[in-house]
Structure 1
């Protein structure tokens, strides 16, 4: 079984700037630079045949290259924060690409992703983080502006758990034209 998602990698120089805001927040487990990405579609656990079919479907996607900008910060989890993130400015091309990845997933039999696409870069996962600390982080970095940077491809990533943070491996790369 493979745990897969489609995503756009964040350039190293943008990742280094994100690392600079990774400050002490109680219960925050900060992600390493190599894990920074924008998730287009989480696929979940799939078998080898489904993964191969998914790779084929994703390879058929035609989409434009785009310039993306990170703007602002926030957290998920209304009463107890679960993650801290940097937001991606709204971009129609990015939304269309995410929709195409979603349709590709449906064509190989994966269930509908019930969450609305909300482009972001996860900076930390939280456990026991006080709401006021997440709010203070979001307020301090609410005016964050990084980029723009060019997205000229997207990837099918596998996620591997073990000791320490998950490790993401690009299993396939798809050019944007």
Structure 2
């Protein structure tokens, strides 16, 4: 059976993507060894499913349809890192207003998907991954930029749908395509 690399996400608006893109340009200018996410690929990951049998996609879609969520506003603001500031491996932008709704939806997804054999998330932090740090090159300069943007507001957008996405890995980076979506009311 065909296998698909998939995840569930909330898309963000073009306006917010543009604002984050400006932040990415500044990160890029310091010469840090970081792989930045292409602006068109920016999203809030709700659940990474990994490599799954294509036949499981319909069952995942059933879980998505069972959510019955309403649209809500997400304010995209602040900058953080995983796992911590001393060993920054992932750079991200956070969710302010709307954060609790994102967490609530993610918990519902986790519960529904657990019945399909997917593991539960621990300590889910709503965020938009901006880049992955590959080495400590120019780390201090990178941290200066991150500190400058730490309280930055990148705008707000309406979370209108949950999207099941496929990720094809290529040498130039991942290519995402939407497989299914569920509109919020």
TM-score by length of 2: 0.88
Partner-residue secondary structure (3-state), 1:21: helix
CA distance in 2 between partners of 1:116 and 1:72 (Å): 18
1:116 correspondence with 2:123: yes
User: Which residue among 56, 75, 80 is the counterpart of 2:81?
Assistant: 75
| Aligned 8 A contact 1:4 1:156 in 2 | yes
Deviates more, 1:57-66 or 1:134-143: 134-143
| Aligned 8 A contact 2:15 2:155 in 1 | no
CA distance in 1 between partners of 2:9 and 2:142 (Å): 25
| Aligned 8 A contact 1:74 1:135 in 2 | no
User: Which residue among 116, 126, 134 is the counterpart of 1:127?
Assistant: 134
CA distance in 2 between partners of 1:151 and 1:112 (Å): 23
1:10 correspondence with 2:12: yes
1:45 correspondence with 2:51: yes
C-alpha displacement of 1:13: 1.3
1:89 correspondence with 2:96: yes
Partner-residue secondary structure (3-state), 1:117: coil
Ranges in structure 2 where 5+ consecutive residues have no aligned partner: none
Partner-residue secondary structure (3-state), 1:14: helix
C-alpha displacement of 1:146: 2.1
Runs of 4+ in 1 over 2 A off after TM superposition: 77-81, 129-135
| Aligned 8 A contact 1:6 1:101 in 2 | no
Indicate the RMSD between aligned Cα atoms, in angstroms: 1.6
C-alpha displacement of 1:103: 1.5
| Aligned 8 A contact 1:7 1:154 in 2 | yes
Aligned ranges 1:23-34 → 2 under 5 Å: 23=26, 24=28, 25=30, 26-34=32-40
CA distance in 2 between partners of 1:16 and 1:36 (Å): 10
TM-score by length of 1: 0.91
Aligned residues: 176
CA distance in 2 between partners of 1:169 and 1:88 (Å): 23
